[in-house]
Structures are given as C-alpha cells and as structure tokens.
C-alpha cells in the first residue's frame, strides 16, 4: 500500500484503509498515539483496538511505542469518539511496525521530551528542533516564502541569476568578509615584504565569500532586463544581535530602466505579495504561531505588549500604503518630536548623521505606525554605487523599515553615469581599475537601473512573529557558533 500523508489522511473519507508513517509525539493510556509526519502541523491520532489481555503477548511492541520513535501503521480511518480531532486511525498491534526506536532515557535528555522548552535550549539542539510544532511550522512557512519569491519574480518575467559565492572583488563595501583559502593556515607562503602570498592560493588572488550579489546582478540586468538573486550571503561582522547572522539569505532584484520610484513600487508590491501568500497558504501554521505569541504576550507587562496580533499586523501592512518620505523630512519630524524635545533620544539628530535604530523605531512604530520607506540619504553615509541626486548632497537610496524589525530592505537607483561613478569611487577610496568589469557596463550602452536587497530571515521574522533571527533559519551561524 502507498503511504498517505497525514495532511491528506485528515481530509480523507472515513472507512478507508490507509498506510501512514511518522514519529510519535505522545502515547497515552496504552492506547492513543499522536503521530506526526511533518506534512502539516496536526497529528493523526492512532487508536490501538485491542483488549488488555493481548498486552502481554505484545509487550515488546507496546514498550517500544515511545515519544520520538518512528512507526509505520495501516489502519482504518473512522470518526473520532474523542473531542480533540475529527478523525482517527484504528489499528491492531499486528498493523504497527516500529521503524526506529527511541530510548526514553536518552530522549529525556533532549528537547524531544514532551514539555515546553526555552528557545535558547531549542537552539542548542537545532538538529532536533524540527520535531517541535513551533519549528516545523516556521520551516514550512520558510519554504512557502522561498517558493513565493521565485513565483513572484517568475510571474513578472524576471530571470533568476546565480551570482558567485566565491568572489575576488573586495570593493563592495558591504562589510567584513570571510576569506576563502586553501593556503596552509599555519605557514602560509609569504611575499618578499612579509605579506601572505595569495598568488599561490587556489584562484591566484585573495578571495572571499560574497557579501552581496548586487554588482554581478547589475551586469545581468544590463542585458536580461530584470534579474534577481536569491542565495546565501556572508558577513564576518562581530554582530551579536537578534537581527544579524553571519550567514543569511538575501534576495536582490535588479531592473534595467527603473528609477527610484519604480524601485519603491517594486519593493512594496513584492513584500505585500509575500505576506498575502503566507496568509493564503500557511494559515494552520500561522494560527499556531498566533496562539503561541498570544501566550507569550500574556507574560509581559502591558506596555511591552504588541498593539496588534501577528495576523493583524500582516493584514495591516497589506491594507496600508507604505509611508514614503525623504531623509531630510525624517530629520525634520525627529527634531520636532516629543522624545527629542524631552531629550529621550540617546543619539544625536542632525542632517548628515545616519539615523540610529531608536530614531527609525520612533518613525515606524510611533509616528507613522506603518512601514516607512526613507529615500534620498546624504551621499557620504551610503555606498558608492548609489546615484547622485541633482542637489549635489544626496543619493537615490531607499530603506524600507518595518515595525519590530527595522531595516528589511535596502536599495537604490544605481549611478549609471561613468564620470559620476568614477568620482564616487575616488571619494570612497576604491581603485576604479579593481572594478573594471563593473565600469564596462557604463561604457557600453549604460542605462538607468535600480535594485534592492531583502533580508530573507528578516521577512520571516515578520511573517512568523519570531523575535530572534536565529529561530527562523535552520542552523544559525553567529560569532562563536557554527555547530551542526
């Protein structure tokens, strides 16, 4: 018989004989097995239809139906007599095959033991946390969001571009990089002036893991028109926060002939599509996350609680236009704000200084109370490739700020004018020759274009309501942590 997934079994006609396989979540009264196979959040209840006088004869199998064991069971689907579920599967001992044992003494030492665990402990056992309701829900949603991203871009005629993960360009300015090398770490070959001789390394030059696929994506966009990347990204920054990972996944669309307004429109439409997709396709898991969040919120003091629930926050973003304003306007608002007047901000506010997260949070969570797109930042505080505005002071940058998360998207219209671009590179102490291939796109039929980077895990934080980024990626890499 072919295996039926529990997700489908729960919808199937009563009276049918089916085969299911999965892992035991709990076993009660020598009779009721809660079986989960990951196809959905819900368990299937197996009811063992035997008299107690058969127990002795089947002691071996009875003993081995323990939390976390894997089973294969054939049985008949019937209407449930209990109140917790609509249907259940009735089976005899002879219908149950133990596929994999789980010793209760050992299970007890893991998060598989059927009780509530802290997120910190679950993180330490990331290899087992998939087996929990919470993390199976999160990673089903993660899959659905990844799929929705590809679907969105495919439906809009974008091309998925695989930009390199190993890269020799060191001028992107997006952060500290991880070196990729096969040289002997203890005794690397040295040049005459005592530096590491990377000419003897695998690529014949110093290479690193990518911090962004943007520059290469621009090259693709200059022919394919619209491209996007979706891949791992590596930052060797010593960031110890709930919003940063050393290895994370980033989506970077890049569109020829788009200006900053087009770019804002794309980012807003894209985010709304993804949130709508989650509501349309992940409701069972979202309901579970909602209930979990509500239980958590009850533990907190009133003033720290969310004003809106998870699903309400998602619907709220869908039904409101993102607030679009310039950096200069944002500074004005902040200078006129109550917290500024009462000297409640820790960091200074002045034109030319980057906004601190307390300022961004004020704008998003207090002033506008919805997602905000900030544009036209001072040129000195943004990357070299962002297009100079005509005022001579600002660049066509945009940051999309979300409540509770901060910057979820960073992007810009790119500088397409060769002279301006070279001028900017010099200002930022980047040797133009090192990016000769990038500059070539401006030599041969240059065109206005724009793009942005979306942090995949930050999106997932918003969609799942998880407040630590380490809980929305299977195996988080952070300073001092690369287990599994």
Partner RNA sequence: UCCUCUUUAGCUCAGUUGGUUAGAGCACCUGACUGUUAAUCAGGGGGUCCUAGGUUCAAGUCCUAGAAGGGGAGCCA
440: tokens are: 């070539």
Fill in the per-residue mask, 195 to 214: x = in contact with RNA (CB under 7 A), - = not in contact. Answer: -----------------x--
Asked if 450 touches RNA (CB under 7 A), the answer is: no
CB of 193 to RNA, least distance (A): 28
CB of 237 to RNA, least distance (A): 4
Q: Tell me which stretch binds RNA (CB under 7 A): 136-144, 259-267, 302-310, 466-474.
A: 466-474
Q: In the range 154-193, which residues lie near RNA by CB under 7 A?
A: 174-175
CB of 187 to RNA, least distance (A): 25
The length of the chain, given as a count of residues: 484
Distance from C-alpha of 43 to C-alpha of 249, rounded to nearest angstrom: 31
Give the closest residue to 412 by CA, choosing from 377, 373, 451.
451
Q: In the range 370-399, which residues lie near RNA by CB under 7 A?
A: none
Distance from C-alpha of 305 to C-alpha of 302, rounded to nearest angstrom: 6
User: Hey, how many other C-beta atoms are within 10 angstroms of the C-beta on 114?
Assistant: 13
Asked if 427 touches RNA (CB under 7 A), the answer is: no
* Angle at the Cα of 101 from the Cα atoms of 95 and 107, rounded to 5 degrees: 130
Asked if 82 touches RNA (CB under 7 A), the answer is: yes
Per CB under 7 A, the list member of 42, 58, 80, 328 interacting with RNA is 80
Per CB under 7 A, the list member of 239, 306, 328, 446 interacting with RNA is 239
Asked if 347 touches RNA (CB under 7 A), the answer is: yes
Distance from C-alpha of 165 to C-alpha of 146, rounded to nearest angstrom: 19
Q: In the range 18-57, which residues lie near RNA by CB under 7 A?
A: 26, 28-32, 34, 45, 47, 49-52, 54
CB of 331 to RNA, least distance (A): 15
Instruction: Give 25's contacts (C-beta < 8 A, 6+ positions apart).
Output: 34, 35, 36, 43, 67, 114
Distance from C-alpha of 249 to C-alpha of 461, rounded to nearest angstrom: 13
Q: In the range 321-340, which residues lie near RNA by CB under 7 A?
A: none
Asked if 303 touches RNA (CB under 7 A), the answer is: no
| Owner of token pair 């240059």 | 446
**What are the C-alpha distances in Å from 213 to residues 162, 224, 312?**
8, 16, 34
End-to-end CA distance of the chain: 36
Q: In the range 350-369, which residues lie near RNA by CB under 7 A?
A: 354, 356-358, 361
CB of 44 to RNA, least distance (A): 11
Per CB under 7 A, the list member of 41, 137, 274, 454 interacting with RNA is 454
* Angle at the Cα of 100 from the Cα atoms of 23 and 130, rounded to 5 degrees: 40
Q: Tell me which stretch binds RNA (CB under 7 A): 11-19, 100-108, 259-267, 428-436.
A: 100-108
């Amino acid at each position: 018989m072919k295996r039926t997934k529990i997700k489908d079994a729960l919808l199937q006609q009563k009276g049918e004989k089916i085969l299911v396989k999965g892992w035991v979540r709990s076993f009660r009264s020598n009779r009721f097995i809660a079986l989960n196979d990951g196809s959905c959040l819900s368990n299937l209840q197996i009811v063992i239809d035997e008299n107690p006088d058969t127990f002795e004869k089947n002691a071996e199998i009875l003993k081995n139906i323990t939390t976390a064991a894997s089973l294969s069971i054939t049985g008949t689907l019937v209407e449930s007599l209990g109140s917790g579920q609509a249907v259940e599967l009735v089976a005899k001992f002879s219908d149950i095959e133990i596929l994999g044992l789980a010793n209760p003494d050992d299970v007890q030492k893991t998060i598989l033991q059927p009780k509530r665990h802290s997120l910190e402990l679950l993180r330490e056992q990331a290899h087992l946390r998939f087996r929990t309701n919470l993390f199976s829900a999160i990673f089903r949603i993660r899959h659905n969001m990844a799929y929705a991203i590809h679907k969105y871009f495919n439906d809009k005629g974008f091309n998925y571009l695989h930009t390199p993960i190993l890269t020799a360009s060191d001028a992107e300015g997006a952060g500290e990089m991880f070196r990729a090398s096969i040289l002997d770490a203890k005794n690397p070959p040295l040049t005459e002036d005592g530096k590491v001789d990377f000419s003897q390394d695998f690529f014949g030059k110093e290479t690193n893991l990518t911090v962004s696929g943007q520059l290469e994506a621009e090259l693709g966009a200059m022919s394919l028109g619209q491209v996007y990347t979706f891949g791992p990204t590596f930052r060797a920054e010593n960031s110890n926060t709930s919003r940063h990972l050393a290895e994370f996944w980033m989506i970077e669309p890049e569109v020829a002939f788009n200006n900053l307004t087009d770019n804002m429109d794309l980012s807003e439409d894209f985010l709304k599509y993804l949130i709508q997709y989650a509501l349309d396709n992940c409701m069972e898991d979202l309901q579970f996350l909602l209930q979990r969040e509500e239980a958590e919120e009850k533990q907190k003091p009133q003033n720290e609680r969310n004003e809106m629930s998870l699903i309400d926050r998602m619907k709220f973003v869908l039904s409101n236009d993102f607030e679009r304003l310039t950096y200069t306007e944002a500074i004005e608002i902040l200078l006129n704000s109550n917290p500024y007047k009462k000297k409640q901000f820790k960091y200074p506010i002045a034109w030319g200084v980057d906004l601190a997260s307390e300022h961004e949070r004020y704008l998003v969570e207090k002033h506008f109370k919805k997602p905000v797109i900030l544009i036209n930042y001072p040129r000195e505080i943004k990357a070299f490739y962002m297009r100079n505005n005509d005022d001579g002071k600002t660049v066509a940058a945009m940051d999309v700020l979300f409540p509770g998360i901060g910057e979820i998207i960073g992007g810009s219209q790119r500088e397409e004018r060769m002279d301006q671009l070279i001028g900017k590179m010099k200002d930022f102490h980047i040797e133009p020759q090192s990016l000769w291939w990038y500059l070539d796109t401006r030599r041969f039929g240059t065109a206005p274009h724009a793009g942005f980077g979306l942090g995949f895990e930050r999106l997932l934080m918003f969609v799942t309501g998880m407040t630590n980024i380490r809980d929305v990626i299977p195996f988080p890499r952070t300073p001092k942590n690369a287990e599994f």
